Copies of this chain bind each other. A is one copy, B any other.
Amino acid sequence: MNQEPHIASVFDRDLEAIQAMIMKMGGLVEAAILDSSLALESRDEELADKVRKADAAIDALEEQINTECARVIALRAPTASDLRTVLTVMKIAASLERCGDYAKNLAKRSTVLAQMQPIGGSAGSIRRMAKAVELLLKDALDAYIQRDAVLAAEVRERDREIDQMYNALFREFLTHMMEDPRNITACMHLHFIAKNIERVGDHATGVAEQVIYLVTGALPEEARVKGDITSSIRIEGGK
């Protein structure tokens, strides 16, 4: 569904510049997610340190985007759909900033985990989950730039797979902890990491929903099925 073509205005040029910043920010966040999960799997403390330091650039970009959006609103006084677009950009920037924080936290925990006994193949599973989430975020941002409601709907759908990966990991960690209490501390960290990656997926879904809203003028009808079911999981162990 394409919008009517219209003559490029100063507003359009402003918006393009802001969107370029969003894509740059998205690229940095995607790299942070991939690198931090790779640092976890390969126990690469240098790479983890790089991710932690790179987060400042992500935060700075959000500030820049917010300032620029406020400037455009004040200067151009956009109405209706143009205003909605600017407000959406600010929401997307806020989401990306949070995702950057999650990657930074993953990097921090990977340094601690590098000192502990590895837990089965869990670091590999987490890296695969991170890769899937990174693709999801990338597609959500592409859907935004191209105003592609079909791709956005697909992103929402695919987030359920991330939720399933998280649910499987959650059960795996519980089992490892019950089998051997020496695994508990490591599993608590790994679980946090998995949950935060799952949250990045939720943010990607949020971006996708904003795209659907921008293109169709309405949020998706059916409330999204909540895929993380662990809040109701009961596993009794130890006896």
Which A residues contact B (CB, under 8 angstroms)? 66, 70, 73-74, 77-80, 83-84, 87, 90-91, 94, 105, 108-109, 111-112, 115-116, 174, 177-178, 180-182, 184-185, 188-189, 191-192, 231-239
Question: Do the beta carbons of A182 and B236 come within 8 Å of each other?
Answer: yes
Question: Do the beta carbons of B108 and A231 come within 8 Å of each other?
Answer: yes
Which of B90, B177, B184 meets A87, CB within 8 Å? B90
User: CA–CA, A48 to B188, complex, Å?
Assistant: 26
Which B residues are CB-close (under 8 A) to A73? 73, 83
Instruction: Count the copies.
Output: 2
Question: Do the beta carbons of A182 and B70 come within 8 Å of each other?
Answer: no
Decide yes or no: A185 and B87 within 8 Å by CB, A74-B79, A77-B77, A80-B74 being known contacts. no
Pairs A–B under 8 Å by Cβ, sample size 10: A94-B94, A112-B233, A174-B185, A177-B181, A178-B184, A182-B237, A182-B238, A185-B233, A185-B236, A192-B231
Question: Do the beta carbons of A70 and B84 come within 8 Å of each other?
Answer: yes
Decide yes or no: A237 and B74 within 8 Å by CB, A87-B90, A90-B87, A112-B231 being known contacts. no
Which of B105, B116, B238 meets A184, CB within 8 Å? B238
User: CA–CA, A174 to B77, complex, Å?
Assistant: 54
Which B residues are CB-close (under 8 A) to A184? 174, 177-178, 184, 237-238
Question: Do the beta carbons of B87 and A70 come within 8 Å of each other?
Answer: yes
Which of B79, B178, B188, B234 meets A112, CB within 8 Å? B234
Which B residues are CB-close (under 8 A) to A84? 70
Q: Which residue of B lies closest to A107 (CB)?
A: B231
Question: Do the beta carbons of A189 and B83 come within 8 Å of each other?
Answer: no
Q: Which residue of B lies closest to A111 (CB)?
A: B232
